[in-house]
Amino acid sequence: MHSRSMKNPSEYYSQQYNARAAIPDHPYIFTRWAKDSAHVRRTTAALFDLAYGESSGERLDFFPTNRSGAPLLVFIHGGWWRSLDKSDFSFVAPGYVNAGYNVALTNYTLAPAASLDEIVRQQLRALAWLYRHAEQYDFDPERIVVAGHSAGGHLTAMMLAAVWPAWEKDLPSDLVKGGVTMSGLFELESVRHVDFVKADLKLTEQDVAPLSPAWMPQAHNAPFITAVGGLESDEFRRQSKLLSDNWSANHRADIALPGINHMTICDAFATPGNPLFEATLALLADVEKSAVKRRD
């Protein structure tokens, strides 16, 4: 459905994208995430608030695994680019750490204090910083996979579209070796009409194209998977299909998640045995194998 064919695109898109309104128990989910994440931070070895840039929002948490030189999974949180914090999502780390993978959770300056363009640039800085500090934190810079939820899914796709050597000359074109997008937003023309984020995002017509990864080529042939909860709106499904269709050469799978909503998809991602968790592990394992082959 396109805004030109609708009498009231704002009403349609605002309803389609209002995930919290569609999930009556969302306050309990947020509370559970906060409690579980606080427990993880108390009981798991990690380095918190590492500065990857100069602003206070440019911080990340690093959860090391006990396997030397293992791959790195980077998780970018959602919240419409304007809410939530990496500390709300510490609970996603243990499953992957226990499976032998390092995990980094990135923050960014929230809108409206930062524009969407600046938030993207901060994530570019975060990935470049991690790549350059791989030896210090004992992970393999040749095996970085990025995952993100909702607005973080958008940022994940922007990392897959990034032309890294144009950002910094010392960076490889294939800095990101794989991606996982969960309930992501990949074209922002529809988002521009969403009433409840207009004031914070301030998106103009001119902003849309350079911030819509579905309308860009994938910069490198990194494999990626998509996932949308079975209980999510048509628009969230359309967004993921748009990305997977336009980047079909490297789209590995769309993970079916019946009974899952826009928030519990994060629980699916964090839970060993869940199809989304297992698909992410398989992607990490394949990235690891392909890196070994390139070196042999």
Q: What letter represents residue 263's amino acid?
A: M
Query: pLDDT tens across 129-185, in order?
Result: 999 999 999 999 999 999 999 999 999 999 999 999 999 999 999 999 999 999 999
Provide the pLDDT for residue 8: 82
Are the beta carbons of 145 and 178 closer than 8 angstroms?
A: yes
Total-model pTM: 0.96
Neighbours of 180 (CB within 10 A): 26
The number of CA neighbours under 13 Å toward the Cβ of 173 is: 4
The domains of the chain are located at 3-295
Residue pLDDT, tens place only, 46-99: 999 999 999 999 999 999 999 999 999 999 999 999 999 999 999 999 999 999
Structure tokens that stand for 132 in this block:
């350059």
Q: For 13-43, what is each residue's pLDDT tens digit?
A: 999 999 999 999 999 999 999 999 999 999 9
pLDDT above 70 (res 120): yes
The two three-digit tokens of residue 163, written as one number: 């032309």
Instruction: Please name the amino acid found at residue 277.
Output: F
Residue with tokens 């990496």, as numbered in its chain: 86
Rg (CA), the chain: 18
Of the options 3.40.50.1820, 3.40.50.11540, 3.40.50.720, 3.30.420.40, the CATH number for the domain spanning 3-295: 3.40.50.1820
Q: What is the DSSP string of 129-147?
A: HHHHTHHHHTEEEEEEEEE
Two tokens, residue 199 = 């004031």
Look at residue 181 in the predicted model and tell me its pLDDT.
Answer: 98
Share of the chain above pLDDT 90, in %: 95
Terminal C-alpha separation, the chain: 49
One-letter amino acid at 42 equals R
Question: Which residue reads 């748009």 in tokens?
Answer: 242
Tell me the pLDDT of the chain averaged across its residues: 95
pLDDT of residue 290: 87
Which DSSP string do the residues of the chain spell out, in sequence order?
A: --GGG-S-HHHHHHHHH-HHHH-TTHHHHHHHHHHHHHHHHHHS--EEEEESSSSTT-EEEEE--SSTTEEEEEEE--STTTS--GGGGGGGHHHHHHTT-EEEEE--PPTTTS-HHHHHHHHHHHHHHHHHTHHHHTEEEEEEEEEEETHHHHHHHHHHH--HHHH-TTS-TT---EEEEES-----TTGGG-HHHHHHH---HHHHGGG-GGGS--SS---EEEEEETTS-HHHHHHHHHHHHHTGGGEEEEEEETT--TTHHHHHHHSTTSHHHHHHHHHHHHHHHHHHHHH-
